[in-house]
Amino acid sequence: MSSEYLPGLAGVPATKSNISSIDGEKGILAYRGYNIKELAEKSTFEETALLLLDGRLPLQHELDDFDRQLRSERRLKYKIRSIMKNLPTSGHPMEMLQTAVASLGMFYGGEEVLSDGIDGNDIDYIHSMSVKIISRMATIVAMWEHVRNGYDPIEPRSDLSHAANFLYMLDGKDPDPLAVKVMDACLVLHAEHTINASTFAAMVCSSTLASPFLVIAAAIGTLAGPLHGGANQRVVEMLQKIGRPEKAKAWLDQQLAENKVIWGMGHREYKTKDPRAIVLQKLMVEWGEKQGNLSPQFETALKLEELCEDALGPKGVYPNVDYYSGILYTEMGIAPDQFTPIFAISRVAGWLTHWREQLSDNRIFRPTQIYTGEGARAYTEMSRR
């Protein structure tokens, strides 16, 4: 057995999976073999989530049934609202989301099935928990926008799609069709991305047979970091700091001279532009055309990408999914600190799929280490130290 230490487990296979794949050289991401660009254009989040969970594109009646189940599970018990109302409003929404999701198991139960050593064949249990969590996470994120501002949350509607209902719950207005299209595509694009940090956290937690609510809470905590899901908020802050396209070159030169991070640029898996960033950029153009103009922030992003292509492209550093997602959300009037929670309400489909896959052939994760501490030492009495 190799004892080579690889920081961050870079390139170390941690599992076998048939859920998603990445071709970093060609810039291709596929869910169950289906190209993400085609899914973002032709599918919906509901269909994509079911594709991930079940491993195949659903028949119409299967999709209708799944959609009906999601719509029926949107409401939350009032005690969960009470928990949220008692959280500090200054806290980050990801901290709220992790707390609320972790508490769901206390109200909805089901984890007792795991205590018997579930072997992954209890599909009804796994499907039921997946529906409950996917549906309610969107509700929680939308509710928080009102709760933290001192208002009662808006009740979910059962006559809207997953994306449309989420947007409705954010501001209480019937959402614009283009906004629904953009949000739905964003949810599809963020739903799964092989064994990233948050997915690995979910898998490790899954391997202990913890409750699915705690599995997702573990993943949420991992996604919150700025080196993972939190980067989209940093991109918007970066673009706001730059201000205008004509200021981008001086800003970039200074960042590079000081070896500082260019948020939204580069990805460990891709040696070309992230395919998700390509789709998001097209959506941003479509959004701008409808509004009649491109936002200054988008123009700045385009200029910065052009400059980075010259400076960083030869190193294989190009825009990733975070580069344009935050700009789109900003244009839709969504608060910057809600960007990562939106990432989470999409990625939960992938996390739950990996939870299901982990349970199907489970073995608890227990990696080893290379000890670098002191050798054997005798205890020294306090008076002699």
Give strand pairing partners of 35: 30
Give the strand order in the sheet containing 28-31.
20-23, 28-31, 34-35
Closest CA to 53 of 41, 64, 44, 66: 66
Contacts of 214 (CB under 8 A, 6+ apart): 102, 105, 205
Q: How far apart are CA 21 and CA 342, in angstroms?
A: 23
Q: Hey, CA dihedral for 342, 343, 349, 351, is it positive or negative?
A: negative
Q: How far apart are CA 92 and CA 295, in angstroms?
A: 27
Q: How far apart are CA 247 and CA 168, in angstroms?
A: 37
Q: Is 337 exposed, middle or buried (0-12, 13-18, 19+ CB in 10 A)?
A: middle
Q: Of the listed 162, 267, 274, 354, which one is catalytic?
A: 267
Q: Of the listed 67, 184, 274, 322, which one is catalytic?
A: 322
Q: How far apart are CA 233 and CA 330, in angstroms?
A: 10
CA 75 to chain CA mean position, Å: 22
- Answer yes or no: 159 catalytic: no
Angle 93-108/78-85 helices, nearest 10 degrees? 150
- Answer yes or no: 267 catalytic: yes
Active-site residues, by number, are 267, 322
